[in-house]
Amino acid sequence: MTPQIIGTYIASLSLIIGSGFVLVGAIGLLKFNDPMTRLHAPTKVGTLGIGMLLVASVIHSFDIGRPSIHEFLIMAFLFVTAPISANFIAKVNIHRRACETPPDPSHDTTWSTLSDDLDEQAVETK
């Protein structure tokens, strides 16, 4: 087997895997009822599927002898912006009360923030 044939097989396998992930993401987007659960389908599965499609494009471009790395820029942009947009969509859903609100924090004074007592102790130790 020549390297071109192996590259074609790897690109084809990446296309099939990526298409499967994108299909599962699209079905999840249509089937889930709650906006917060619907959010997971395109952000988690769809991102991986589109990443595999872009990997297939890179492999194919190297296979035909015209290397292209533009796809890596697209992947970097996609992997950076997808979690940020998912976070903003989740915050809007929580703010609009379109979903179940998260539970209140425990009454422990050290949970996720420092209380005034702990701040004063930190100042005294310095």
The series of mean pLDDT values per 10 residues for the chain, 126 residues long, is: 90 94 88 80 82 92 87 89 83 77 64 52 54
Token readout for 3 is 């390297």
- The answer to whether the CB of 53 falls within 8 A of the CB of 85 is no
- How many alpha carbons lie under 13 Å from residue 112 in its C-beta half-sphere? 4
Report pTM. 0.68
Q: Which two tokens stand for residue 77?
A: 């942009």
